[in-house]
Amino acid sequence: MADATLLNQIKDFSNRADPYPLYARLRQTPVSRQNDVGPETESPKDEAQGVWVAASHDAILRLQNDPRISVETTPPTKRPSTGNPVTDYLVNPIKNRITDRHQPFLFRDPPAHDLLRAATVHQFTPTRVQAMRARSEKLVGEMLDRKLGSREIDVVADLAYPLPVAVICELFGVPEGDEASFHDWSSQLATAVEPGVVVSEETRIENARIFDAISDYLADLVAEKRRRPRNDLLSGLANHATPDGYRMGDLDLISTAILILVAGHETAVNLISNAWLTLMRHPDELERLRADPGRAPRVVEEVMRYDPPVQLVSRKTLSAIDIAGTTIPEGEALVLMLAAGNRDPAAFTDPDRFDPDRSGTRHLGFGGGLHYCVGAPLGRFEAEAALTALARRLQAPRLIEDPPPYRRPATLRGPECLRVAVERIL
Ligand code: HEM
């Protein structure tokens, strides 16, 4: 075992603000077997288990494109357990609405994954996604207008958190009157699906209720879209088949909508917050962005490498895999440490330097292979809109706390709040 405690140190909350030195140590063995005490629990820890960790850029790239790895989780045999809240809900639902067969496609292997993903991608049309750029800019403008006259802004609560849900409401064609409840559910859902936390029976039931509320609402919304189709993505998914003639059934539609909501919310929150934090720590880059908003795509792309919102993804091996001089046996849990691969000196020159002008190797921040992020262009637009507006409108911004307080998860990593003092908001 390379270093039995590194993964646990990475998961330890006290290292949340800066896990990068630990990633560097992890990378010394590109693929290692680590002792894992398991997810954080509300009760005492289970026994330690072994997990394989890929930390080099090359090993991650190979593994995420390898057909011998799987995302499907075996349903847990005992309650309460599982670090996967979706599985938790599906295995122990209050209502038996969605079954194991309707897991969101992020947790499914081919061929089911490919059908569901193709139907979804088919509806992320360039026109629809492009329309979200202007919409994001408008929403960001309105959110900052609400802060006019303030000397302080919390970039997470005032902007990064509400923006992605507002964009998803638009994408789904959620009626204006329902938007407030949709925002509430989305934040409850975010807490309910916080990765890597095994919860008590009481919390599990509460989480299942949240899933019920949101899936009931989405079932009604889907029915409405079938009756009166509009121009939104959900209407498209509900009413149009792919060129191959495949159309989703109701339960798959609901679980896909939940997936888009979950996958497109916390990730985008963290991208905007991590990006603003990085810019505040690199005032010369902030100044360059203020002077030239055209630099926003470069800045966002470099943040996706330098401090990615999704730090790791989980898999298991379907058969033995020889990689980086070692053999991962069949049926083993595997972690692809994306954030470690993104700072690999074998792939990036001077990897610990934040440099929006770098070119060449691609980062791993949106994943890769079959499960490469469906919403990547949308996430980029949202972050670009947020950063350019913040750079332009916040006069003399100063971080009130550095490092800021972080949210618990090690997987979806980002600040809990990001308080910035300003002379003025324009
Ligand atoms: C998948 C990151 C935004 C929808 C993924 C994956 C990553 C990721 C790393 C792969 C997960 C895995 O392999 O296990 C991000 C980041 C975002 C972002 C950093 C920052 C803004 C979005 C948005 C949406 C979205 C805005 C939709 C509105 C999805 C979906 C998948 C996915 C549906 C599953 C793809 C599949 O399983 O085939 N994302 N994402 N993401 N993302 Fe994103």
Instruction: Determine whether the shortest distance from the Cβ of 373 to ligand 1 is under 6 A.
Output: yes
Residue 78 has pLDDT above 90, yes or no: no
Task: Check residues 186 and 294 and name the one with the higher pLDDT.
Answer: 294
Task: For residues 89 and 60, state if they share a domain.
Answer: no
Contact 260, 168 (CB under 8 A): yes
- Distance (Å) from CA 372 to ligand 1 centroid: 7
Task: For residues 122 and 176, state if they share a domain.
Answer: yes
Tell me how far apart the alpha carbons of residues 417 and 405 are, in angstroms, rounded to a whole number.
Answer: 6
Tell me how far apart the alpha carbons of residues 272 and 308 are, in angstroms, rounded to a whole number.
Answer: 10
The CATH number assigned to the domain holding 416 equals 1.10.630.10
Task: For residues 259 and 353, state if they share a domain.
Answer: no
Tell me how far apart the alpha carbons of residues 26 and 386 are, in angstroms, rounded to a whole number.
Answer: 33
Mean pLDDT of the chain: 88
Task: Check residues 3 and 289 and name the one with the higher pLDDT.
Answer: 289
Task: Check residues 335 and 214 and name the one with the higher pLDDT.
Answer: 335
Task: Check residues 175 and 86 and name the one with the higher pLDDT.
Answer: 175
The predicted pLDDT at position 47 comes to 46
DSSP 161-182: THHHHHHHHHHHT--GGGHHHH
- Distance (Å) from CA 268 to ligand 1 centroid: 9
Instruction: Determine whether the shortest distance from the Cβ of 310 to ligand 1 is under 6 A.
Output: yes
Least confident range of 78-82, 204-208, 290-294, 365-369: 78-82
Task: For residues 38 and 130, state if they share a domain.
Answer: no
The predicted pLDDT at position 176 comes to 82
**Count of domains for the chain:** 2
Ligand 1 nearest atom to the CA of residue 268, by list position: 21
Task: For residues 220 and 337, state if they share a domain.
Answer: no
The predicted pLDDT at position 100 comes to 56
Residue 201 has pLDDT above 80, yes or no: no
Task: For residues 250 and 323, state if they share a domain.
Answer: no
Confidence of residue 198 (pLDDT cuts 50, 70, 90): low
Instruction: Determine whether the shortest distance from the Cβ of 371 to ligand 1 is under 6 A.
Output: yes
Confidence of residue 41 (pLDDT cuts 50, 70, 90): very low
Least confident range of 261-265, 387-391, 403-407: 261-265
Q: Which of 373, 384, 387 to mutate to test the pocket of ligand 1 (most atoms within 8 A of CB)?
A: 373
- Distance (Å) from CA 373 to ligand 1 centroid: 4
Q: Which of 72, 267, 342 to mutate to test the pocket of ligand 1 (most atoms within 8 A of CB)?
A: 267
Residue 303 has pLDDT above 80, yes or no: yes
The predicted pLDDT at position 194 comes to 60
Task: Check residues 315 and 103 and name the one with the higher pLDDT.
Answer: 315
User: Considering the entire predicted model, what is its pTM?
Assistant: 0.92
User: Does any domain span residue 141?
Assistant: yes
Please report, for residues 202, 375, 406, the alpha-carbon distance to residue 160 in angstroms, rounded to integers and kept in the order given.
Answer: 30, 16, 14
Beta strands 31-36; 333-336: pairing state: unpaired
Q: Which of 129, 335, 374, 380 to mutate to test the pocket of ligand 1 (most atoms within 8 A of CB)?
A: 374
The predicted pLDDT at position 45 comes to 43
Task: For residues 154 and 91, state if they share a domain.
Answer: yes
The predicted pLDDT at position 76 comes to 39
Q: Which domain does 86 fall in, by range?
A: 82-305+369-425
Confidence of residue 73 (pLDDT cuts 50, 70, 90): low
User: Does any domain span residue 210?
Assistant: yes
Task: For residues 358 and 373, state if they share a domain.
Answer: no
What ranges in 150-282 are assigned the alpha helix state H? 155, 162-172, 179-192, 201-227, 233-239, 250-263, 266-281
Task: For residues 201 and 132, state if they share a domain.
Answer: yes
Instruction: Determine whether the shortest distance from the Cβ of 117 to ligand 1 is under 6 A.
Output: yes
Instruction: Pick the last residue of a domain from 346, 364, 382.
Output: 364
Instruction: Determine whether the shortest distance from the Cβ of 415 to ligand 1 is under 6 A.
Output: no
Confidence of residue 37 (pLDDT cuts 50, 70, 90): low
Instruction: Determine whether the shortest distance from the Cβ of 118 to ligand 1 is under 6 A.
Output: no
The predicted pLDDT at position 126 comes to 93
Ligand 1 nearest atom to the CA of residue 167, by list position: 28
The predicted pLDDT at position 99 comes to 54
Percent of the chain topping pLDDT 70? 87
Strongest mean pLDDT among 244-253, 254-263, 291-300: 291-300
Task: For residues 235 and 170, state if they share a domain.
Answer: yes
Least confident range of 231-245, 278-292, 303-317: 231-245
| 75-102 average pLDDT score | 50
Tell me how far apart the alpha carbons of residues 380 and 403 are, in angstroms, rounded to a whole number.
Answer: 24
Instruction: Report pLDDT digits (tens) over 126-157.
Output: 999 999 999 999 999 999 999 999 999 999 99
Instruction: Report pLDDT digits (tens) over 368-403.
Output: 999 999 999 999 999 999 999 999 999 999 999 999
- Distance (Å) from CA 365 to ligand 1 centroid: 9
The distance from CA 358 to its chain's CA centroid, rounded to whole angstroms, is 24
Task: For residues 49 and 142, state if they share a domain.
Answer: no
| 415-419 average pLDDT score | 97
Task: For residues 97 and 171, state if they share a domain.
Answer: yes
Instruction: Determine whether the shortest distance from the Cβ of 198 to ligand 1 is under 6 A.
Output: no
Tell me how far apart the alpha carbons of residues 270 and 290 are, in angstroms, rounded to a whole number.
Answer: 21
| 111-132 average pLDDT score | 94
| 330-334 average pLDDT score | 93
